[in-house]
Amino acid sequence: MHPQTLRAFSHELTKIAKEKQPQKQPSAGERATRALEGGLMAATATQAGDALGEAGAGRLWSRVSKHLSGQRAATDAEKKIFQEYAPGVIAHTSIDDIIRTHNLNPLDPTVLQMKSIEGRNAFAVDINGKKIVYTPPKAHPSILAHELGHQSGTFSRGKFRKAVETGMRLQRFATPATMGLGALGAVAAGAQKTPEEQARGYRAAQIAAGAGSLFHLPTLAEEARASIHAVNMGRKAGKGMEYARHLLPAFGTYAARPIAVTGATVGALELFRRGAQRRALAQAAADGADA
């Protein structure tokens, strides 16, 4: 007999012998160990997803940053439309101007934070009851329009504004919630006695992890709202598509992390769930052979 044929034949005999052996039910200690391993693997995968999200956002932002330098200035028509859409909003291109104009303390933590991102980012903020936006001096007009979008519309006023800001602050809990719910779900599923129960537990853990990612929704919704306002301003000036091309990568920086983190968590749990299914099928085959 050819050596390769002999090895293949021996492999099949070994596999058949293992399938004929009665399946030993894991002990409580083994289930606990498996559950802990599943939880740690889910947490590790989520951390990897978080890092991937950061890297993806960084790459996207490197593209976005190109729109913050060397771009054309806003035309008179665009400036007029900006004033119509966001009346009363004060636009600045210098943090020092903001400090002088609004009598701010240069050593205030918020002011220092603004200084740290000067020239690299744009933002909208309320100072002493006045709506302020900042964009780098050579930013593309769509960036200014986006920040003006944050300061315009129903959700930029009164209680709506406070609700939006509260929702956006919840984003800091999104990654811990996704990671924690996924890891806890993996631990709970791995502790179940039968593969069928484990598979159901992993599916429930996937749903829970997905629910944790909902903390990102207020930020994504507000960024989308501001971009829609900006594109509408651009469309009034006949530059809607130009604005959309500039703002789409920027929105991608906000979406990169939740997609990566949630995808990593749900993907890890899916691997665990399929493993439980395979064990269930092997157990059913063994039971059928014994019968």
Residue 268's nearest CA partner among 182, 176, 175 is: 182
Q: Average pLDDT in the 174-187 region?
A: 87
Quote the Cα angle for 225-82-67, to 5°.
70
Residue 122 lies in a domain: no
Q: What is the mean pLDDT of residues 268-284?
A: 83
Report yes or no on 15 lying in a domain. no
- Residue 31's pLDDT is what? 54
Q: Which domain holds residue 258?
A: 27-71+140-284
pLDDT of residue 134: 94
Neighbours of 60 (CB within 10 A): 19
C-alpha span between 97 and 223 (Å, rounded): 26
Residue 39 resides in a domain: yes
Query: What is the reported pLDDT for 172?
Result: 86
In a domain, 16, yes or no: no
Higher-pLDDT residue of 29, 243: 243
With 0-12 / 13-18 / 19 or more C-beta atoms within 10 angstroms meaning exposed / middle / buried, residue 62 is exposed
- Of residues 273 and 48, the one with the higher pLDDT is 273
pLDDT tens column, 215-263: 999 989 999 999 999 999 999 999 999 999 989 887 888 888 888 888 8
| pLDDT value of residue 10 | 53
List the alpha helices (DSSP H) in 103-239: 109-116, 141-150, 158-169, 174-190, 195-212, 217-236
pLDDT tens string 112-161: 999 998 988 899 988 888 899 999 988 899 999 999 999 988 778 878 87
The total domain count for the chain is 1
Indicate if the pLDDT at residue 34 is higher than 90: no
Regarding predicted confidence, which is higher, 145 or 55? 145
- Answer yes or no: is pLDDT of 66 > 50: no
In a domain, 88, yes or no: no
Write down the pLDDT at residue 288. 72
Task: Tell which wins on pLDDT, 285 or 79.
Answer: 79
Rounded Cα distance, 59 and 248, in Å: 14
Checking if the pLDDT of 59 tops 70, the result is no
Q: Is 245 among the domain residues?
A: yes
Position 130 in a domain: no
**Minimum mean pLDDT range among 36-45, 75-84, 132-141:** 36-45
pLDDT bin (cut points 50, 70, 90) of residue 280 is confident
Q: What is the pLDDT of residue 46?
A: 54
Does residue 64 lie within any of the structural domains? yes
The alpha helices in the chain, defined as continuous H runs, are 3-20, 28-64, 76-85, 95-101, 109-116, 141-150, 158-169, 174-190, 195-212, 217-236, 240-290
**Residue environment code for 7-45, b if the CB has 16+ CB neighbours within 10 A, otherwise e:** eeeeeeeeeeeeeeeeeeeeeeeebeebbeebbebbbeb
Q: What is the band of 64 on the pLDDT scale with cuts at 50, 70, 90?
A: very low
